[in-house]
Amino acid sequence: MKRVAALLWPLRLAAFATRALRAALPAPPAKDTLLLTVRLMLRSLPVVVIVTFFSGAMLTVQAAVSLESFGARSVAGLIVGFGGVREVFPLLAGGSLAARTGAELASQLQAMRVTRQVEALEMMGLDSVRLLVAPRIVACILGGPFCVLAAMVSGLVGAYVIGVFQLGIDRGAMWGSLLQAVGGVDVVIGVVKGVILGGLVGVVATFEGFHGELAGPQSVGAAANRAVIRGMVVVCAAALGLSMLIYGRLVGTAI
Amino acid sequence: MTTATHTPTANPAGPSTAAAIELVGVTRRFGTRTVLDHVDLRIARGRTTALLGPSGTGKSTLLRLATGLLPPDAGVVKTLGVDVFSASRDELLAVRRRMGMLFQDNALFGSLSVFDNVAFPLRRVAKKNEAEVRRRVEELLHLVGLPEVGDRTPDRLSGGQRKRIALARAIALEPELVLFDEPTSGLDPQTSASIDQLVQETQRRLGITFVVITHDVESARLIADDVGMLHDGGVRAFGPREQVWASTDPVVRAFLDRIPVHSAP
């Protein structure tokens, strides 16, 4: 039975997302959405910045070690620029969003279910999906790009700091190689990834917050747990899909 | 099939004879357990009806069916004349706007003040302006005897006070039907009595339909015009309070007289 439910999960998720987006039209409650977006960014950005700063630094260490044998340590920033900005930093931004915001959204909604607040809204004749789910998904869609852009900047700063101050790479060479890899199109792609990954985190988190067995307070923890795990899996799968879609066609051609 | 149909002789709500809630052949199962089995029930408008019964006899299920929060496995559920399970979602939300519900755990919004809790349906559903909202909320808080707690949050209120605020919110939109899920559950006897009194006074003042789910026999005796008793998946008794209280049915008697389960028929 559980296996069947697991197989049906993507379909149920898609149906829920469709319902939520329909409920959001023509526009979700503006004030709620704005407040949620600001709150999401305030809570998630610090996590995103910290995680990607260290990741940028670690990528630089590995790049420098790998390139050392070719005597090309000074272009370590190029690898971090390509791999980090295009793939790792957006992925980590999505993962951090799933962990921080996904858990919070799912537990908020599940707590409202457990205490019958969702039913209270429905009993007032209000559409709980429009009122609770749609603004949260839209907030994730709006906040996602900022998280990805912050991740890119923070990752590059982390790479620069470790490269220059720890590994002794020349400042000009480090900064030049980092920026050489990053074009305007990568920033645009980052924004698009932010919208998609943010939206997916929002859909998974609100879905898990709105479903599951009602078994008292433990339902809240269980929903948060599902939102984080499933959110991360969906983010990883989507990041791979986007990567193949955007960059896969470039394999075999000069970048 | 269990049938319980009762039309009161006097209907303070006016000329409308349509039932507030009508169940026809309703069955609801949870897994292999049948909680309601082909239940027929008609609850009249303009009166207070108490549905009694031991825990697990489907009282709350019946309430959730009537509000469209839970679908039946079979049968028809009409609330305020609307078949809630063949209605569109918009129609269902519209009929719910004609109802109020007081939840067992109150379901107040913990992040909002008492004032904002009561104001919530007025702002979000009725779209009233702030002056109207303030006037109505003050009126409601006065009605439930708590005019001074508006700026507190629900967690700073006692159980009885929270119940009163939940009632104020439930009647904010002047509904035709108010549903109470175990309104005195978890309250001390004195507070329970004050809630009973409040329910009774509010119903008399507003003249609308109250349906109270409870296992509190004394509470039902005090507030109800009509009483129904659920037992073993069906309605064992239904009628005016005096009639049910005079019942000689051993199952009804055992419950009303609080005879311990192992001694009951």
pLDDT tens digits along B84-116:
999 998 899 999 999 999 999 999 999 899 999
Asked whether residue B9 carries a pLDDT value surpassing 50, the answer given is no
Cβ distance A123 to B99 less than 8 Å, yes or no, reads yes
Quickly tell me which residue has 């702002």 as its tokens.
Answer: B123
pLDDT digits (tens, 9 = 90+) for A4-55: 777 889 999 999 999 998 888 877 778 888 999 999 989 999 999 999 999 9
Residue A2 lies in a domain: no
Subunit contact A125:B109, Cβ cutoff 8 A: no
- Please provide residue B181's backbone torsions phi and psi, each rounded to the nearest 5 degrees: -100, 105
Residues in chain A within 8 Å Cβ distance of B105 = 115-116
Chain A CB contacts of B120 below 8 Å: 124
What's the whole-number mean pLDDT along residues A239-247? 89
A124–B contact, CB cutoff 8 A = yes
Q: What is the pLDDT of residue B126?
A: 93
Q: Picking from A66-75, B144-153, B182-191, which range would have the lowest pLDDT averaged per residue? A: A66-75
- Residues in contact with B105: Cβ distance below 8 Å, sequence separation at least 6, in sequence order: A115, A116
pTM for the full predicted model? 0.84
Decide which of A222 and B10 is more confident: A222
pLDDT band at B230 (very low <50, low <70, confident <90, very high): very high
Residues contacting residue B84 through CB under 8 Å, at least 6 positions apart: B66, B67, B68, B77, B78, B92, B95
CA atoms within 13 A on the CB side of A120: 27
Number of domains in chain A: 1
Tokens 């339909």 belong to residue: B209
Query: Does any domain span residue A53?
Result: yes
* Between residues B165 and A186, the one the model is more confident about: B165
Contacts of B94 (CB under 8 A, 6+ apart): A125
Q: Is residue A91 over pLDDT 70?
A: yes
DSSP tag of B20: S
* pLDDT surpasses 50 at B184: yes
CB of B169 closer than 8 Å to CB of B161: no
Q: Are residues A120 and B101, on separate chains, in Cβ contact within 8 Å?
A: yes
Instruction: Please report the pLDDT score of residue B190 as a whole number.
Output: 85
Domains of chain B: 2-98+175-263 (3.40.50.300), 109-174 (no CATH)
Q: What is the mean pLDDT of chain B?
A: 89
- What is the rounded CA–CA span in Å between residue A206 and residue A210? 6
Q: Is A131 on the interface with B (CB under 8 A)?
A: yes
**CA angle, corner A237, sides to A234 and A243, nearest 5?**
135
A35 to chain B, any CB pair closer than 8 A? The answer is no
Assigned domain for A234 exists: yes
Packed helices A171-181 and A134-161: angle between N→C axes, nearest 10 degrees: 150
The tokens for A234 are: 């969906």
* Average pLDDT score over residue span B174-185: 92
Q: For residue A6, what pLDDT is reported?
A: 79
Confidence band for B12, pLDDT divided at 50, 70 and 90: very low
Beta bridge partners of A215: A217
> Any idea which residue has 């559903």 for tokens?
B125
